[in-house]
Chains A and B, each alone.
Chain A
């Protein structure tokens, strides 16, 4: 066999003064990096298999392990850098499409970090959220053009609304892509926090039907697991057109991941590949989309809002306008940084546009057309923390999906090898010996902690601005100033530079 040109990405540093040869690293590494060598009475590493997931580092009881980036240098070259060369090496040896997981790691401009929030000083009072009530409850759904009030009561019936105790939802992560333990963690946390989780296109496992009240059930191009009971089990339905990590591309869950439980939940035979076509083959136009939206509304007797999720692409504003006119109650926009279990590397890193610009463009367009009230706007794709959420709301979002942040909360270290099915943290795998590594009680508790922490922070940021209800911040771009952006970016974001 010709020699491989690929160098190990990482080196395993084992401190011999600290290693007690307990072999915890050996039994925990699903990538078979660590081996017990009885001849030399020590643990050795096959470093080329290491993906830097930190399982061994965190589980080592004596902190004997460190993972370092391989310090071997390639000849310095700004253009032909090491990741470019390594990509070519992988393809020269494998001959396939480069696969990866999670969202893009490329240095795409981070607009969130160029946006700064306002605060009250002297001329208007800021509010202390620990002393005064703050309202961050969020209602997602179509709002009527007007309201009719008689004797102090609303007499016009409102379209169905999703009620969120915080403007945060767990993004679509399907059972099949992620483990049942991860699904249970998300479902329980969403229920405990009064927010929503999303089935993705993987159907609804029997064990999580009880969390249906806090669930958005997805209908994607493969229609996996969709029947009348499924549609009615959730509180909203989402038609998935695209996702930020791989706009224009369908999904492919390999047959080896389709075990008994995934098979039953997705309603496909055991061991068969679950292939989601790139388009919905019954949706080639806005009119076709309208048919599906209303078919789903009929199936649920107009009791549940219908969301349509699209990737942020070049003409996303016009597409969003069409989606609203097609009758969607919620439009979800997934930016280029959105994550995934498996995507072609080149698609993930090069297709789509940043969520911040897409959000501003869509909100502006819907306002200009006078239809912003007809649908709620949910933004996804790289929401990292509570200030990203507050900035997104000020740019015009009603709520945010978090996917990657939720995975990190459950233990994900973003090693980007989800597609191998060997997730050492039991999140992105169907291997029963790995799945049980994620205890859903612990996962749910950590997610609940995160939502509570972010809710507190959102209230603090709102209070600083002198705002006591999130509703007063929605689309209030005067609360934002930018730094270091171009004229065009200020125009698209609809904000002023700092100092103006």
Chain B
């Protein structure tokens, strides 16, 4: 499946991907200002820029072939779509037990306690076709959305 890959050699560590990801997954996905100023709680990014200068890269869910989070989920909220391979969390079923946070080997799942407690993670902007928002908005082309056979899992 196509995944988002980081090219750390050109990552400027600006964290704009976090801003755009948080906006896209907010109540106001088309406006950064509204997302950050009108939503009651600060929008949460589902991508995280790891920084240990000069090393920086953006990390998000790897959508593992055998995802520990789906196996650990106690309510069946976390599932992997058999067709697209995208791992998503059904927030209506999630009870915020954080088992997925515990088992994720990449630390790619965050806690979102803005509403009822849910696990927040990359949904590849819910498609496997067009580029996710982080890839579209990276100012230095440091993120690519591609099918690469080796790695990723």
Contacts and interface: CB of A to CB of B under 8 A. Distances in A.
Is the A/B pair a real complex? yes
Interface of A: 18, 20, 22-24, 27-28, 59, 61-62, 426, 431-433, 436-437, 439, 441-442
Contacts of B32: 20, 61-62
B14 A20 contact: no
Contacts of B71: none
Interface string B3-45: 0000001111111101110000000000011001100000000
Contact of B142 (A28, A433, A439): A439
A439 B140 contact: yes
A20 B16 contact: no
Contacts of A426: 12
Contacts of B115: none
B54 interface: yes
Interface centre among B12, B13, B19, B54 (most CB of A within 10 A): B12
Contacts of A432: 54
Contacts of A441: 141
A265 B15 CA distance: 33
A23 B45 CA distance: 14
Given A24-B16, A59-B14, A436-B9, A18 B53 contact: no
Contacts, number: 53
A430 to B, nearest CB: 11
B76 interface: no
B152 to A, nearest CB: 22
Given A433-B54, A437-B12, 11 more contacts: A18-B33, A23-B15, A27-B15, A27-B51, A61-B32, A426-B12, A436-B9, A436-B12, A436-B54, A439-B10, A442-B141
Contacts of A22: 15-16, 18-19, 36
B135 to A, nearest CB: 14
7 contacts: A20-B33, A22-B18, A24-B14, A426-B12, A433-B13, A433-B54, A437-B12
B16 A59 contact: yes
Nearest to B35: A20
A9 to B, nearest CB: 24
Those 8 A-B pairs whose CB atoms lie nearest each other, nearest first: A20-B36, A432-B54, A433-B54, A439-B10, A437-B12, A433-B53, A439-B140, A22-B19
B141 A439 contact: yes
A97 to B, nearest CB: 31
Contacts of B20: 61
A369 to B, nearest CB: 51
Given A61-B32, A439-B140, A439-B141, A20 B15 contact: no
B139 interface: yes
A374 to B, nearest CB: 46
B109 to A, nearest CB: 22
A24 B15 contact: yes
Contact of A27 (B14, B36, B140, B142): B14
A62 B15 contact: no
B88 to A, nearest CB: 26
B43 to A, nearest CB: 10
A27 B32 CA distance: 19
A32 B139 CA distance: 21
Contacts of A20: 19, 32-33, 36-37
Contact of A24 (B19, B36, B56): B19
B95 to A, nearest CB: 31
Contacts of A439: 10, 140-142
A440 to B, nearest CB: 8
Interface in B85-111: none
Contacts of B51: 27
Nearest to A433: B54
A28 B11 CA distance: 12
Given A441-B141, A442-B140, A436 B15 contact: no
A103 B140 CA distance: 28
B10 A436 contact: yes
Contacts of B36: 20, 22
A62 B37 CA distance: 12
